[in-house]
Amino acid sequence: MAKVVFITGATSGFGRAAARRFAADGWSLVLTGRRLERLQALQEELAARVPVHVAALDVRDAQAVLRVIEELPEDFRRVRALINNAGLALAPEAAQKVALEDWHTMIDTNVKGLVNVTHALLPTLIETGAGASIVNLGSVAGQWPYPGSHVYGASKAFVKQFSYNLRCDLLGTGVRVTDIAPGMAETEFTLVRTKGDQAASDRLYRGTTPLTAEDIAEQIFYVASLPDHININRLEVMPTRQAWMPFAVDRD
């Protein structure tokens, strides 16, 4: 029986790269995201290689999540890996300058969306048993603060702690849980965060060597493909050319 992976946020970045990586190994794909035309294009690209089911989905809508899972075709129901990739950062300005709506959007997507999909698929993953995997996309921002991270970093700290606590509750079920925490990676992330400012995105990555979406997809695939008895709890991945800075100090 083919292995089935369920990927949220499959329309770009890590999610799209993960779909291609799992397809290369013969997994059947359930691909979800808000932009149906992108999902359909990815389905057309990969369907000659593996079975692909796509569904437009906003993970913030708990009822829509349940509906998508309930309506999965029979061949896609036995999900072995859930890749909780849907998420975003907004408003890189200081907290006191940010619109409350942007904070709510990040919480609703990065926290509530993650919870919605995980809760809906837990019974399936537990039924699958040994070797089933939940891979949550966190961030180094969930561990290391920086200016302008405010609610984004807090939401990724939630991802980390939620992953750890899931491990406790799922002990004995065979279901594995991993928080993958990327550092600087060149995707649409900064374009979304700056609401389409291509110049800002270019400045961030200029003159260095960031991670790629494919780099992170390889790590996602790795942790979901390990022998059943191995669980990577948290995997923090940074470019070699990225490290930490000293503490900031306010001086007179």
Q: Which residues are catalytic?
A: 152
Give the residues across from 217 on adjacent strands.
none
Q: What number of residues does the chain have?
A: 252
* 154-178 residues labelled b (16+ CB within 10 A) or e (exposed): bbbbbbbebbeebbeebeeebbbbb
Q: In sequence order, which residues have a C-beta less than 8 Å from that of residue 90 and are 6 or more positions away?
A: 102, 105, 106, 152, 192, 193, 195
Distance CA 90, CA 93 (A): 9
**Extended strands (E) in the chain:** 4-7, 28-33, 52-56, 79-84, 133-137, 176-182, 234-237
Please state whether 83 falls in left (phi above 0), alpha (psi between -120 and 50) or beta: beta
Distance CA 14, CA 86 (A): 9
Q: In sequence order, which residues have a C-beta less than 8 Å from that of residue 106 and are 6 or more positions away?
A: 88, 89, 90, 151, 152, 155
